[in-house]
Homo-oligomer: A and B are copies of this chain.
Amino acid sequence: MSKCEQCIIRQFNSLKALTREELVRISGCKTSRSIKKGEVIFEEGDAVNGVFCVKDGVCKLSKLSSNGKDHIVKLVVKGDLLGQRSLVGEESANLSAVALNDMEVCFIPKSEIMQDLQKNPKFTLDMLQQMAHDLKESDNVIVDMAQKSVKNRLADVLIYLNDNFGVDDDGFLAINLSREDYANVVGTATESAIRILSQFKKDGFISTQGKQIKIENLHKLKLIE
């Protein structure tokens, strides 16, 4: 099993603020885990007593809404920490986490990392900054959800995926979401998402092959209102 103090992934999250000694201790109690595509990592209401450091793969964080639909709030990627909020307070998970492809993660028990939160102000401050950033992003998402059209939001998601995941050798988005997932990210009916994607195709903004999507005209996608 690889050691935290040698792991390059931690540079991308708050764990970078830990000292070498702290990392050695964390390394001793962490557990590595492979997660298969589609597997549930935790569900709303679960007690998540620790954080996952994502070494590879992507998972979706979603919440069941009162109308019975699952809404995808966030995608968690390589380098991210998953379940930070379990560290503060005793509340159970507010969101469910499901792997979108095969993942490699490390799990660090809450009890261990709480010691660092209480003793290493640099670490706590880094998490604070991370959360402040997330909060700002959340506000932006709220405004977009409230004010933009479904078509606009769907275009935004395609742009986001292109910017953050890039494309494969054939030019298709490197991450594949189902049409239902797209609908659950923008908050619309699956049929509506499919319909709008079809329209984008007719307009020449994208092309598709099965569930794969290739952006053909990023500029025009950005102009959609």
Contacts and interface: CB of A to CB of B under 8 A. Distances in A.
Interface residues of A, number: 44
B88 A142 contact: no
Interface in A124-174: 124-125, 127-129, 131-136, 138-148
A56 to B, nearest CB: 25
A73 interface: yes
A214 interface: no
Nearest to A145: B145
Interface string A88-100: 1101001100000
Number of copies: 2
A140 B88 contact: no
A73 B145 CA distance: 12
A118 B128 contact: no
B144 A65 contact: yes
Contacts of A66: 147-148, 225
A57 interface: no
A136 B95 CA distance: 9
23 contacts: A63-B140, A66-B225, A67-B148, A71-B142, A84-B132, A87-B132, A88-B128, A88-B129, A89-B133, A94-B139, A94-B140, A117-B128, A118-B125, A119-B121, A121-B121, A121-B124, A128-B128, A131-B131, A131-B135, A135-B138, A138-B138, A141-B142, A145-B146
